[in-house]
Amino acid sequence: MHRQRTKLAKRANRVASAVERRGIVATYELHERLLGNRRSRRRFAAETPELDETQRRLVEALDHDGYVTLPFTELLDEELWQRVERQGAEFVVQTERTLAEGGQGKVRAGKEFVVRRWSFEGATLGADDAWFTACTSRRLLDVANAYLRLWAKLSYVDLWYTAQQPESDERVASQNWHVDFDDKHLLKAFVYLSDVGPESGPFEYVPGSQAGGNRVVRPWVPMGYGRVDDDEVTARAGSDAVATFTGPKGTLILCNTSGLHRGGFATAGPRVLATATYCSPASLKALSNRNYESARETTDPVVRFAVS
Ligand SMILES: O=C(O)CCC(=O)C(=O)O
């Protein structure tokens, strides 16, 4: 009797999850085709940003490969870089102190190897926050909007300290190949705040594997399929297909993570970076949450849209 009830409960749960999933997928499609994204595409088309040569080059590379990389100071100025670098150094001191005292810092369940500056604790960020200033600059935002062909939302802003771990550990969570399932109109920015070599958990990507790209391994679907095995990536994309982003401190990577990516398996020392996510208004995340409150005072409608 008890076993029968357990079986029934499991079945009911499965049905409920399938219904919920269908609801989420339908909501995404509705916002993608009719609601939020249509409005945001119209706004973009009415006021297409004027890009300079560097920005145009970035958008072209993103269109073709789904990623591009360059020194931070080729897009944004040296003074801002120095502020971001200082912010990173302070975060490292604070994090290493916490870890030395036996604390864990701000981590998310299942991804304890990444200590976050803000995580999802509702930070209030303004002009005094260097990385937030970079993320809300028109230089970067215009690239995101021009690539996504709409006014994007800035849904996540953070600093990450990826802790060193033994080589014998198994890769877990985002250390494995996966695609982000909450939106196909995605642009993530990563700025290395430590030198990143092959053993420091470099970010990796399969160029062209982004939604609509020329090397799609599996078509993108909202709520997706999580992890993809190494064998499938090699078999379908080819063993030479992977771009591994080693690079010095100050390297900026822009990437559409609706494509296959992984990173953060740092065995030679910690990896420190600043990260941000630009997405469309239809993103399952933008519809539900953002990890900060903006205290940035601006009358610029493009920036206001991104942070609201
Ligand atoms: O830590 C990394 O390099 C991977 C990050 C990642 O998977 C993501 O931001 O979606």
SS3 (DSSP) at 254: strand
Report the pLDDT value the prediction gives residue 117, as an integer from 0 to 100.
Answer: 98
- Is there an atom of ligand 1 within 6 Å of 203 CB? yes
- Is there an atom of ligand 1 within 6 Å of 247 CB? no
- Is there an atom of ligand 1 within 6 Å of 281 CB? no
Residue 213: closest CA among 255, 276, 178: 255
- Residue whose Cα lies nearest atom 2 of ligand 1: it is 263
- Is there an atom of ligand 1 within 6 Å of 285 CB? no
> Which residue out of 171, 190, 252 has the highest number of ligand 1 atoms within 8 Å of its CB and is therefore the one to mutate?
190
> Which residue out of 191, 261, 277, 279 has the highest number of ligand 1 atoms within 8 Å of its CB and is therefore the one to mutate?
261
CA-to-CA separations, 135 to 21, 80, 175, 231, in angstroms, rounded: 32, 11, 25, 36
Question: CA 226 to CA 9: how far, in whole Å?
Answer: 25
Report the pLDDT value the prediction gives residue 35, as an integer from 0 to 100.
Answer: 79
Do the Cβ atoms of 67 and 207 come closer than 8 Å?
A: yes
Question: CA 289 to CA 120: how far, in whole Å?
Answer: 9
Question: CA 230 to CA 256: how far, in whole Å?
Answer: 20
Residue 159: closest CA among 219, 114, 208: 114
Give the nearest ligand 1 atom to 178 CA: 7
Question: CA 73 to CA 79: how far, in whole Å?
Answer: 9
* Residue found by looking up tokens 């080589």 in the block: 167
For 136, residues 6+ apart whose C-beta sits below 8 A from its C-beta are 154, 294, 296, 298, 303, 306, 307
Report the pLDDT value the prediction gives residue 224, as an integer from 0 to 100.
Answer: 78
Apex 148 CA angle, 125 and 301, nearest 5: 50
Question: CA 269 to CA 91: how far, in whole Å?
Answer: 16
- Is there an atom of ligand 1 within 6 Å of 188 CB? yes
Report the pLDDT value the prediction gives residue 30, as an integer from 0 to 100.
Answer: 81
Report the pLDDT value the prediction gives residue 12, as an integer from 0 to 100.
Answer: 63
| pLDDT digit string, tens, across residues 252-284 | 999 999 999 999 999 999 999 999 999 999 887
For 128, residues 6+ apart whose C-beta sits below 8 A from its C-beta are none
Report the pLDDT value the prediction gives residue 110, as an integer from 0 to 100.
Answer: 94
Give the nearest ligand 1 atom to 162 CA: 1
Question: CA 165 to CA 163: how far, in whole Å?
Answer: 6
Q: Rounded to two decimals, what is the model's pTM?
A: 0.92
| pLDDT digit string, tens, across residues 46-74 | 989 999 999 999 999 999 999 999 999 99
Q: What is the CA radius of gyration of the chain?
A: 20
Give the nearest ligand 1 atom to 264 CA: 1
Give the nearest ligand 1 atom to 201 CA: 3
Question: CA 185 to CA 208: how far, in whole Å?
Answer: 14
> Which residue out of 165, 175, 254, 262 has the highest number of ligand 1 atoms within 8 Å of its CB and is therefore the one to mutate?
262
Counting other chains too, the contacts that 93-100 makes at CB distance below 8 Å and 24 or more residues apart are 95/161, 99/163
> Which residue out of 115, 203, 272 has the highest number of ligand 1 atoms within 8 Å of its CB and is therefore the one to mutate?
203
Give the nearest ligand 1 atom to 114 CA: 1
- Is there an atom of ligand 1 within 6 Å of 257 CB? yes
Residue 174 CA to ligand 1 center (angstroms) comes to 6
- The amino acid at residue 29 is E
Report the pLDDT value the prediction gives residue 15, as an integer from 0 to 100.
Answer: 59
- Is there an atom of ligand 1 within 6 Å of 174 CB? yes
Q: Which residues of the chain have pLDDT under 50?
A: none
